[in-house]
Amino acid sequence: MINFKENEELNTLNHSCAHVMAQAVKHLYPQAKFWVGPVVEEGFYYDMDLGNDVIRDEDLPKIEKEMKKCCKADKLIVRHEITREEALEQFKDDPYKIDLIKRMPQGTNISMYTQGDYTDLCRGPHVKSTKQCRYFKLIKHSGAYWKGDKNNKVLQRIYGVCFPTQEELDDYLAQLEDAKQRDHRKLGKELQMFMFSETVGAGMPMWLPNGFTVRRTLSDYIMDKELAQGYIHVKTPSVASTKLYKISGHLAHYKDDMFPIMSRDGDEYVLRPMNCPEHMIIYKSTLHSYRELPVRIAEIADDFRYEASGALTGIERARSFTQNDSHIFCRPDQIADEIKNITHLILDVYKDFGFDDYSFRLSLRDVNNKDKYFGNDELWEKSEAQLREVLKEMGVKYYEAIGEAAFYGPKIDVQVHSAIGHEVTLSTIQLDYQLPERFELEYVDKDGSRKRPVVIHRAILGSLDRFIAFLLEETKGNLPLWLAPRQVVVIPVSPEAHGDYAAEIVKTLRSHGIHAELDDRNEKLGYRIREAQTSRIPVEVVVGDGEIKDHGVTVRRYGSKEEVKKSLDQFIADLDEEIKTKKH
């Protein structure tokens, strides 16, 4: 998807179109007062106070019609400057503009832009005339607190997009429609994978049978990968004493993102936001020799973070989620090899899922905001240099991002762009010298001395919830056979005449570990076939007199009209092979 904010031409055009929209709104709602109208990644918006009037969906076409009149008038957009005092006088009846003007230093000249009968404060730049803004579309509207403060009045916000040509606008609107159809929240509901309930709480997903099947498949998949690489799996509690998080530093550096402390019988507990502190305690429970290292502790763990309500995005960003987490305790001389092994594991997993559009980001500390982090400069510089060196050794292309490090150490993040335009982190590798110090972790070196291990935090699938959201949007809900919660549906032409044979097939498929189901409802054959397609079941099997006679099946794949006849044994062998090889 296009980033309007970063594209200089589109940025200028969309900011100009925001002014055209404000001009049109002013024509239709003379009492309107305006706050700000910036360009954002997805286009532009304008926040406005319309008094007692409320914008509804049916009002957007009316505003668009008036905008077209403003564009057709082809008014020049003219810049001029006035003094701060003149601006205060000109906008004396507009509290929103007065607030903006008063933030500007005394003696400042303020730039204004006028187009016909509409004038607004603005730094610019703008296009030459309103006619250049004629290829636009208003996308949606919502409420927004003035200045983003929930204690302030709710203003009305209208979003839109603008392009230089009608063709570009049409292409973008088609992309938006595709993104709408791919949105994991829509797909999750259609495929009955997960749900939310206000009674349960915002950001608290509940996984339905289909969704839980996918989660279990993913969990088994990644744990098998980890076991093959020498990981050991553990299970730790989702609630722990605040003592633990004081040692780890979470209460000092991460408290705002955690659920409130719970007090009981003089003790304090908190829902955990991540699993590193518990894994530190597990490592520390045993004295380790240098020969035992690395120790790779892994967990499929439930975590909780109090995300702001405005940041919640289905299961992509929730308050309750499950991480494919691991902490590797190693000697300093093992760091490079461990990070390389993790990177190879990430690439191996991405190959299984067919991911090829991703980038590596080296997330570093912001040295101008050191209060956000703990630890000394020497350890930070050392760990950042080590991650950078390993990436260069591997020949991995990467970019650096200041301020994206965890509060205890730098990290390598694997960034993907979802099909609906969100940039998300799927996998992460973090190098940490800080927590071993805080927890006083040790191993016995070859000379008998006690040394500090280094900890590598890593998540391959990251949050299972976010990973599934990404998968749904990438595949449009058409999950590959090995991952689909409903893999095969067997449909007898006549439930009475062919139902027993269909049931026998289902029983045989299930004995091979294949998720098969029988649709022997008293409905027309065409109806049952269409419903299987709508449900995105990868394989449909239709059986009638011919299939019973030949002890075979007629197979149709999702999205195809082609029908293939096979023996039952060959059909099962083909399914087993496709699932085993994780064909995508």
* 276 in catalytic set: yes
Alpha-carbon radius of gyration of the chain: 29
Residue of 305, 317, 319, 458 with catalytic role: 305
Separation between Cα atoms, residue 491 and residue 488, nearest integer Å:
10
Beta strands in 275-344 (DSSP E): 295-304, 320-330
Contact 326, 226 (CB under 8 A): yes
Neighbour count for residue 259 (Cβ, 10 Å): 15
* 451 in catalytic set: no
Q: C-alpha 468: how far from its chain's center? A: 10
* 183 in catalytic set: no
Beta strands in 89-135 (DSSP E): 109-115, 118-121
Residue of 327, 466, 528, 556 with catalytic role: 327
Residue of 457, 458, 515, 536 with catalytic role: 457
276 annotated among ligand-binding-site residues: yes
| 3-class SS letters over 192-229 | CCEECCCCCCCCCCEECHHHHHHHHHHHHHHHHHHHHC
What does the block give as tokens for 108? 């400042």
Whose CA is closest to 537, among 100, 148, 223, 191? 191
* 126 in catalytic set: no
Residue of 19, 157, 361, 411 with catalytic role: 411
Contact 436, 327 (CB under 8 A): no
Q: C-alpha 572: how far from its chain's center? A: 36
Eight-class DSSP state of 132: G
Separation between Cα atoms, residue 490 and residue 517, nearest integer Å:
6
Contact 209, 485 (CB under 8 A): yes
Separation between Cα atoms, residue 148 and residue 151, nearest integer Å:
9
* 149 in catalytic set: no
Q: C-alpha 508: how far from its chain's center? A: 39
Q: What angle do CA 433, 435, 440 make, to 5 degrees?
A: 100
Whose CA is closest to 300, among 482, 463, 484? 463
279 annotated among ligand-binding-site residues: no
Separation between Cα atoms, residue 48 and residue 51, nearest integer Å:
9
* 557 in catalytic set: no
In the three-class reduction of DSSP (H, G, I as helix; E, B as strand; rest coil), residue 430 is classed as: strand
Residue of 47, 59, 120, 325 with catalytic role: 325
* 411 in catalytic set: yes
In the three-class reduction of DSSP (H, G, I as helix; E, B as strand; rest coil), residue 352 is classed as: helix
Run of H or E including 69: helix 60-72
C-alpha separations of 247 from 261, 283, 328, 329, 472 in Å: 16, 15, 19, 18, 39
Separation between Cα atoms, residue 101 and residue 84, nearest integer Å:
7
> Which residue is listed with tokens 């004493």?
241
Separation between Cα atoms, residue 540 and residue 569, nearest integer Å:
16
457 annotated among ligand-binding-site residues: yes
Residue of 323, 334, 386, 430 with catalytic role: 323
Q: C-alpha 408: how far from its chain's center? A: 23
Contact 5, 39 (CB under 8 A): yes
Annotation: binding site: 276, 327, 457
Catalytic residues: 276, 305, 323, 325, 327, 411, 457
Annotation: binding site for Zn(2+): 276, 327, 457
